[in-house]
C-alpha cells in the first residue's frame, strides 16, 4: 500500500531480492468499495505494471 511510486519501489526491491519468475497480486485489502477497487486496478494497469516491466527489462540485461 502507498502511492504509485511507493508501490513501484517496493515491488522493484522485492523483485531484485527474490528474482521471481511469476508474480501474483491480490489488489483488494480490507473493505474497499467498488470505485476504489476499479481505480486500483486502473493504476496497476496504466502506471505500476508498465513501470515495473520497463525496469525489470533493464535488470534482466545486466544479469
Please report, for the chain, the start and end positions of each structural domain, with discontinuous segments joined by +.
4-61
> Per-residue pLDDT tens for 2-35?
899 999 999 999 999 999 888 888 877 778 888 9
Question: What global pTM score does this model have?
Answer: 0.81
- Least confidently predicted of 27-31, 32-36, 44-48, 51-55: 27-31
The predicted structure's pLDDT at residue 7: 95
Query: Which three-class secondary structure state does DSSP give residue 2?
Result: coil
Whether residue 63 has pLDDT greater than 50: no
More confident residue, 48 or 32: 48
Distance of CA 30 to the CA centre of its chain: 18
Amino acid at each position: 500500500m502507498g502511492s504509485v511510486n511507493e508501490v513501484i519501489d517496493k515491488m522493484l526491491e522485492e523483485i531484485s531480492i527474490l528474482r521471481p519468475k511469476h508474480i501474483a497480486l491480490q489488489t483488494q485489502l480490507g473493505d474497499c468499495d467498488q470505485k476504489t477497487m476499479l481505480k486500483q486496478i486502473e493504476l496497476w494497469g496504466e502506471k505500476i505494471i508498465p513501470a515495473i516491466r520497463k525496469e525489470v527489462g533493464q535488470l534482466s540485461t545486466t544479469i
